[in-house]
A and B are shown apart, each in its own frame.
Chain A
Amino acid sequence: MRIVCPHCGERPVDEFVPYGAAGLKRPDASASTSDWLDYVYLRDNKAGMHGELFYHVGGCRAWLIVTRDTRTHAIAEVVAARDQRDAAR
């Protein structure tokens, strides 16, 4: 697999550390334990398009959100997590 890092260009997958589902909303400090359990443990684990965090440890150190089909490994989009948060705002 190869990932197009928005900062470094196309790189082999072994430069990255994958970290599971992106887009999980961290609950507030005041949220219930049950919200926290959901956040830390429960996953959609979809077969299909899936946003996943990859850390470019062998490159720019950016955390990236890679949108990829888990059935085919086809990558639709790669954005820096920081940029996506900025865009959402």
Chain B
Amino acid sequence: MNAPANIMRAAALSQPRRFAEGGLIDRSRPVSFRFDGKSYGGFEGDTLASALMANGVKLVGRSFKYHRPRGILSAGPEEPNALVEMRSGARREPNTRATQVELYDGLISASQNRWPSLTFDLRAVNSVASPLLNAGFYYKTFMWPASFWEKVYEPLIRRAAGLGRASGIEDPDIYERVSLHCDVLVIGSGPAGLMAALTAGRAGARVVLAEQDFRLGGRLLDERFEIDDADGLHWLRSIETELESLPDVQILRRTTVFGGFDQRNYGAVERVADHVPVPDEYMPRQRLWRITAKQTVLASGSIERPLVFGDNDRPGIMLAGAVRTYLNRFSVCAGERVLIFATNDDAARTIDDLAASGVNIAAVIDPRPQSSAAMINAAKRAGTKLLADAVIVRALGGRSGVRGAEIKGPDGEQVIDCDLIAMSGGWNPSLHLTSHLGHKPVWNEQIAAFVPDKLPDGMRVAGAAQGSFTLAGALADGAAAGVAAAEICGFDGVSPELPRIAPEPLALTPLWRVHGAKGKAFIDFQNDVTDKDVELAGREGFRAAELMKRYTTLGMATDQGKTANVTGLAVMAEITGSDIGKIGTTTFRPPFTPVAIGAFAGHSRGKYFRPTRLTPMHDWAAEQGAVFVEAGAWLRAQYFPNRNDDWLTAAIREVKAVRERVGVCDVSTLGKIDVQGPDAGILLDRLYCNTMSTLPVGKVRYGLMLRDDGLIMDDGTAARLADDRWLVTTTTANATKVMQHMDYCAQVLWPELDVQFVAVTEQWAQVSVAGPRSRDVLRKLVDASTGISNEVFPYMAAADVTVCGGVKARLFRISFSGELAYELAVPARYGDALIRRVMHEGAAEGIAPYGTEALSIMRIEKGHAAGGELIGQTTARDLGLAKMMSSKKDYVGRVLVQRPAFLEQDRPSLVGFRPVDRNQRLSAGAHFLEVSAKPVIENDLGHMTSVAAWSTLGHSVGLGLLAGGADRIGSIVIAHDPVRRRDIPVEVCHPVFYDPKGEKLRA
């Protein structure tokens, strides 16, 4: 890729359209790049567009629908035509505007939407069929036969549509996101933005100046302005130097502020490394800025309007302002003989600049019946003819570019040869960001453009963005806006003396389209929308701005109609005889220019998509070879395989260890909330449907929380550690939700209660030690001062204890497994030591670790409701827990749980299931049907909520919600699972399969 320097220099030297000197390119730094496989040379400071132009490349793309040959139209973010695929492989990036690509050595680019090649595109046949392919044609055909849409028409349309090709593989670059707070955000660094940043910065405000280009200056770079009787670039350099010296001014180059959001929030994207072949290691490709600004000065300039005449899309037809940009900034001119077609005096600059560069001006076409003195004088200075009251009806030429134009004027028609047409239909303020919060712009007749009206909170607009199209106006606006913004932020702003600027002619008479144009007259270049399409939309009733846009697709391409929208609306107004101000604009929405999806996501992708919560015992479990499973943000040990065990083999071994000896399980992920205060019991009584306040100190109780609508929110336990102190546990999944709910109840519903609580999930590591020998293990851990005999510490006891010689701990005698079991909690920092100690002390008892699979099997055997049953659609009654609902107190959900639907007899309720053929494995999600019933929804009896593939009983068991529930125990139903192609006869049974009397856990 790095060609020898002499070759590069040769390539750089052979740029046929480059002038020998001038411009803001660094001729001492030639670079080489590729376009469609061919090598070219350019200079640092070029854009891809300017370098292509310097090399005489005119044809750069094909249009969306008709595949018409297209060249570079503009020099900025409004570019509709020059879209390229950048880079290659995983970094391939479609639809990039060549006008915004900063040239670098080794750049690779390609044209797109052409087949087989750019110069010979077979799909250009669409142009021939174009009388058929006008606005909305697809709504009227492709309907017969119905099945052909997906099979024939749609694939054809999809392949033809789209623009560039995505890489289709993972983006290898990284992105980052940053928050930024400032006093004054200045958007745009043209004359207005520079003055605003300067005055606000001088006043001492924290200023952020964001510029989408890689160079500050805006149109100062593009024009041959004289400021204080000197080259405008001198002035620019002095301002830039001063801004860089101000400590509280931050300049963000290559940064587009793409959106305005509520409460003075802005989104911006900085292209950190798009101007190098590959970002350095650890360097983000792009950076997303979330900017909060007390004040904002929008100085985003304006965008020139093309003119609508026949074949106005030929390569070599450009915006006049862009012709000046390429000439002045990049020292390039795309043509040798230029025809100027303009409705306004701004074109006088084009005449002067071209003439000064020695470019031949074929003629100046001014559609105004009387041209202006400015134009006449400029034409005279340039020694060219000016045709007033004349229009171009058609551009002549082919895919290699424009070769001439048919002119119609007072003297009839004539053809003028040219190889470049510079057109100007006036300028539209870039007011997009004023409108992102829903404020509509208004029509200004004088400049024939929309201008901002009401503004978002904290925003002011300066310069061309509000329709001040002169340099003097922009400087004055910017200075005033900077001072005002700084003052609102509490700084003393001083209005500077404004530089001297010569008078600037501005007059404009809009020409929205050339009547009698021959050939296609494009309004929206990228989406191939012509004035005829707008006419058709008007004829068919799609006249309102939004309808016209959607029907014709005008303004819906990747440029979002930056050069097309206003003209489209004006043409519609003309056709319908209405007022453009009344038709209104379509809605501006973020982003201003397209923003990479990767930039929004930042670092949150892959494994770092969401934080991963690890328990204090995670490392220990990993050492044991545990397989982990996601449980919300947590990773939990799912099972502990021996060598190549599958999950079931491991889980069976773990269950057997618990049932026969003793097992230990990390239950740190359960939500834990420490509740304190004299009114804690009252609060808990209102939170849980069962009564908590009667619980004695030193005891735990199972509890059920309902929602206001009466359905179950969560279950868990509450342990009373002291008269006014409780420890509440929640399920892992609902820990955050329950905390939020408790805060809601305590702060919003009952703020009078004297109770405080805090989540302590992360402060405590907790293990369950379960199995007939668990007490023996506990005895070796719990310090002797605490008795844990069945008499002293019975089932559902709780206590603060010490373990392992004085470590503070909490001990609960609760059991999820159905065995004699304890849960032991220690401060999180001891978690790792605790689990190792438990394993060590338990070795003699044959202790084994168990994971969530074994946990799940055992809870199903015991008929405990969990995730599969607590689905937000079940009541306590559905789960056989109706008795828990107290009738003696107020609690959340008490009234609405009594609604008729929840009391219906055939409402599915919780029962157990086992396969009639004990060798068959049940599956959760199966629906229940009577044995001989047809599989139709009318016969649906409920569904299997949870299954254990194996159980201590030696076969698969399940829990489910079945219509008629307990009344069906003993009967056979079909577990119907068509998505897994399984129909299994199952026996309905009591949901507690294991130790139904609960003797083991009380042992």
Contact = CB atoms under 8 A, between A and B. Distances in A.
Chains A, B in direct contact (C-beta < 8 Å) = yes
Interface of A: 1-3, 10, 12, 17, 19, 22, 26-29, 31, 33, 36-37, 39-40, 53, 55, 57, 61-63, 72-75, 80-82, 85-86
Contacts of B708: 39-40
B185 to A, nearest CB: 14
A55 B738 CA distance: 13
Contacts, number: 67
Number of chain B interface residues as a range? 20 to 34
Interface string B898-927: 110000000000000000000000000000
Contact of A55 (B262, B740, B898): B740
B748 A2 contact: no
Nearest to A39: B708
Given A62-B747, A63-B748, A82-B751, A2 B895 contact: no
Nearest 6 CB-CB pairs, A to B?
A29-B890, A2-B263, A73-B262, A1-B262, A36-B895, A63-B747
B579 interface: no
Interface string B261-296: 111110000000000000000000000001010000
A86 B750 CA distance: 11
A53 B748 contact: yes
Contacts of B751: 81-82, 85-86
A86 B736 CA distance: 27
B180 to A, nearest CB: 12
Given A1-B262, A2-B262, A29-B890, 15 more contacts: A1-B261, A2-B265, A12-B265, A17-B740, A33-B898, A40-B896, A57-B736, A63-B744, A63-B747, A63-B748, A80-B747, A81-B747, A82-B747, A85-B752, A86-B751
Interface in B421-451: 437-438
A73 to B, nearest CB: 4
Contacts of A33: 895-896, 898-899
A2 B261 CA distance: 10
A29 B894 contact: yes
B263 A57 contact: no
5 contacts: A22-B748, A33-B899, A39-B708, A72-B438, A81-B748
B743 interface: yes
Contacts of A62: 743, 747
Interface SS majority for chain A: mixed
Contacts of B895: 27, 29, 31, 33, 36
A31 B708 CA distance: 14
B749 interface: yes
Nearest to B896: A36
A26 B262 contact: no
A89 B262 CA distance: 34
A76 to B, nearest CB: 12
Interface in B957-975: none
Contacts of B457: 74
B173 interface: no
Contacts of B889: 29
B896 A37 contact: yes
Interface-central residue, B263, B749, B889, by most chain A CB under 10 Å: B263
B709 interface: yes
Contact of A1 (B265, B749, B899): B265
A73 B894 CA distance: 36
A74 B261 CA distance: 11
Contacts of B709: 40
A86 B264 CA distance: 32
A22 B744 CA distance: 11
Contacts of B265: 1-2, 12
A40 B899 CA distance: 13
Interface-central residue, A12, A27, A62, by most chain B CB under 10 Å: A12
Nearest to A23: B748
B609 to A, nearest CB: 16
Contacts of A27: 895
A1 B747 contact: no
Contacts of A57: 736, 740
B743 A63 contact: yes
Nearest to A30: B890
B441 to A, nearest CB: 17
A72 B457 CA distance: 11
Contacts of A75: 263
Contacts of A74: 457
A63 B739 CA distance: 12
Contacts of B736: 57
B747 A2 contact: no
B896 A61 contact: no
Contacts of A53: 744, 748
A31 B894 CA distance: 11
Contact of A19 (B261, B744, B890, B894): B744
B263 A73 contact: yes
Interface in B792-827: none
Interface-central residue, A3, A17, A22, A26, by most chain B CB under 10 Å: A26
